[in-house]
Structure 1
Amino acid sequence: MTSPTYCADLPLACYPLRTTKQFSEEDFWNFCAEHPDIFCERNENGSIIISTPVFTKTGSAVAAVAADLTMYCRQHGGQAFGSKAGFTLPDTSVRTASVTYVSVETMASISWTELTKFAGLVPDFVVEVVDPTRSGFVNDLRMRTTWIANGVKLAWLIDVDADKLWIYRADSSVKIVSPLNQTITGEDVLPGFEFDLRLLS
């Protein structure tokens, strides 16, 4: 048996990796089914983007937001999704975020069958905790062109190490929150939702 070839010498700057081949929606579905251990997305051009796992500290911050958002959904309705949930967006890409929220109304319009695949829906609220393998420019571009441009109403980009959070809104405005020692709200997208940023540290 031939031993597999690993890319152990690739620096973090080389990630995420992108395929040159363009994958159709069906091709991508089949690829994910055949390689369940690979964390990947499909961009609007059909390329598959393969990412590294998040760092342990990043995972802790993601869990803190997800826990509070899940409790909010239990009281107010809607559905929270974890970091491996894929959504097919209007630009045909299949994307994931650290944490996402979908409203009661949107969930009611989606069939169970659609939810067993990469559902064609746009989350109302998206949270991305900074991936250290991406530059600040790439993170900002992702928030604007992947999420807001596709119809997300509210998005948070969190950088715990920089002690900053960026709030992206549907009107293209961006607000910086710093330091992370205060409580912020879900505004009119998630009425009644509050999150204590001190839980991120």
Structure 2
Amino acid sequence: RGRSRAVSGYSLLLFVMQSLPIITSVVPLFILFANMGLVDNLLGLTIVYVASTMTVATWMMAAYFDSIPASLEEASWIDGCSVFGSFTRVVLRNSLPGVLSTAIFAFLLAWNDYLVAIVFLRSNEIFTLPMGVQSFFQQNQTDWGGVMALAVVMMLPPVIVFPALNQSSSVGGIGGSLAGR
């Protein structure tokens, strides 16, 4: 909550990093990961996805944490909670919709990505579903039935997961928690 100069500088750095597209860092990352043995490896691809979505996730969560009134934390301190207890029992519990929205957004970014996967996964044994769609397109023919079937399979996890997570989050859960406001 308290913004120091270091936090403001870090926020500016995150904003600059977020404004650069991932394509600008693919070649240096490929060279670095090739030296570390993380090319053609799901661990390397996962590291790239986590790092690329971290800036957006940080901004989303910071905006959601800023929307939670500080008076809720102060009230829990008066009731005897420690700073950590107040964070876990009040702030994290009330930020569950923001955490779920951020998780869904990060999942969809990684789930639908083609560019990073095509660069970092080199063999035919390891591939993501967007790369699998490419295998249905040949020089002179396209298996449109296979493309559409795979498109349906690719839609299933987001279509199933989103309603399940949406039921467990509540919108406006802190609206009545502050009397007189």
Q: Which has the higher contact order (CA 8 A, sep 6+)?
A: 2
**Larger strand fraction of residues:** 1
**Larger helix fraction of residues:** 2
Which has the greater radius of gyration?
2
TM-score between both structures, scaled by the size of structure 1: 0.24
TM-score between both structures, scaled by the size of structure 2: 0.26
